[in-house]
Amino acid sequence: MDYSYIVEYATRQAILPLDDYLGSTLAITDFDQDQIDSGKVGGKLYGVSLGSNSAAMLINTAMWKEAGLAPPDRNTTWDEFIAGIKKLTAAKIRGGVHGASDGSGFQPLFENWVRQHGKEMFTPDGQLAYDAKDVSDWFALWADIRKSGGCVDPSEQALYTGTIETDPFSRGKSAASFNNSNQLLGYQKVNPDPVVINNYPRLGKDGKGGHYRKASMFFSVSPDSKDPKAAAAFINYFVTNPDAAKILGVERGVPASPKTRDAIAASLDPLSRMALEYVGGLGDLAGPLPPAPPRNAGEVGVAFTNMSQQVAFEQVSPADAGPAFIAQANDILKRAT
């Protein structure tokens, strides 16, 4: 189960509330409170966090060094990041690497940018919490990056299907990309150069980030389960047993239990430790958990990505894309109610 869909599944009664097992079969009282709260819908627990992560920038440090540039760091602003990826592209290393993958259609990156502007993706009652100008400004930002060559061409980005292997970053076409912290190990497996993770750029030097610690995924139980107590015990094993935690490491996020984190810390490889320290060290970059996405939020995300591609291929202008997307998103959310 995912945070993007848990409200929809819970309201359709497609997953089972687990409150009856809390404190007994589900021994998760020491979990970070935000990880418990993120699995609740209407005050009831429908999902148990398998680990927390946060959105992150993936960086090929070798490419940045070859271009004679310092890679982004914790304090890098959007203006500095854009200037850096433009310079990296201009350096023409390795036959023409671009500074970054095209992040215009990656909704978590847009969400981070929106949160830095003091807004959220959705209101608590399931409506859009940003407006057409926000969307148009975002697409205009990336149109400028695209025009200067700072990110990959639209045809290159269009090959990305949401898998690590198809990301332009993994195909050696870009020196930076955008995903989640728990994907670091997967990206490193398919990239010959060292990969590191960093927070998304800040709006200003003193600006707070738009990050938050999100459950990478949940375990939930079907309402048709013949033995929900056994299912709860199965979940409990995965999230509290040190041996299970050592096998999983941080591939599915940083464990929500401090005891479990301590149990695996010494056995983590350098990459896993990097992911753990990144999520645990966000500091002022991280804000409170946003309101849970409403039903059909996933469809809104698909529409956002589709609109970003239309802008990238110059089928619609950023100025027109904002109002068009907002109208489409509102129709999607209206259908959900």
Residue 112 has pLDDT above 80, yes or no: yes
Which pLDDT score is estimated for 205?
Answer: 87
Q: Where in the chain is the domain with CATH 3.40.190.10?
A: 6-53+214-281, 55-211+296-336
Domain at 55-211+296-336, CATH from 3.40.190.10, 2.60.40.2140, 3.30.1330.40, 3.90.1640.30? 3.40.190.10
**pLDDT tens profile 137-158:** 999 999 999 999 999 999 999 9
**How far separated are the first and last CA of the chain, in Å rounded?**
21
AA letter at 199: N
Residue 336 has pLDDT above 80, yes or no: no
**How far is residue 49's CA from residue 253's CA, in Å, rounded to a whole number?**
9
3-state secondary structure of 203: coil
CA 120 to chain centre: 14
Q: Which residues contact 36 (CB under 8 A, 6 or more apart)?
A: 28, 45, 49, 256
Pair type for strands 44-45 and 176-180: unpaired
**How far is residue 327's CA from residue 334's CA, in Å, rounded to a whole number?**
11
Residue 268 binned pLDDT confidence (cut-offs 50, 70, 90): confident
Does the domain at 6-53+214-281 match CATH 3.40.140.80? Answer given as no
Length of the chain: 337
**How far is residue 164's CA from residue 160's CA, in Å, rounded to a whole number?**
9
AA letter at 72: P
Residue 215: closest CA among 8, 40, 35, 33: 35
Provide, rounded to the nearest whole percent, the portion of the chain with pLDDT above 70.
Answer: 100
Mean pLDDT for 212-226 is 94
Q: Any alpha helices (H) in the chain, and if so which ranges?
A: 6-11, 33-37, 61-66, 78-91, 107-116, 132-148, 154-157, 184-190, 228-240, 242-248, 258-265, 270-280, 297-312, 318-336
Residue 99: closest CA among 118, 86, 83: 86
Q: If you search the block for the tokens 């201009």, which residue do you land on? A: 90
**Torsions phi, psi of 225, nearest 5?**
-60, 135
**Residue 196, burial from CB neighbour count under 10 angstroms (0-12, 13-18, 19+):** middle
DSSP string, 119-171: --SB-TTS-B-S-HHHHHHHHHHHHHHHHHTSB--HHHHTT--SSGGGSTTTT
Query: Which residues are 41's β-sheet partners?
Result: 44
**How far is residue 59's CA from residue 170's CA, in Å, rounded to a whole number?**
11
**pLDDT tens profile 225-265:** 999 999 999 999 999 998 888 888 887 888 888 888 888 88
Which pLDDT score is estimated for 283?
Answer: 86
**pLDDT tens profile 170-207:** 999 999 999 999 899 999 999 999 999 999 999 998 88
Token pair for 325:
């997307």
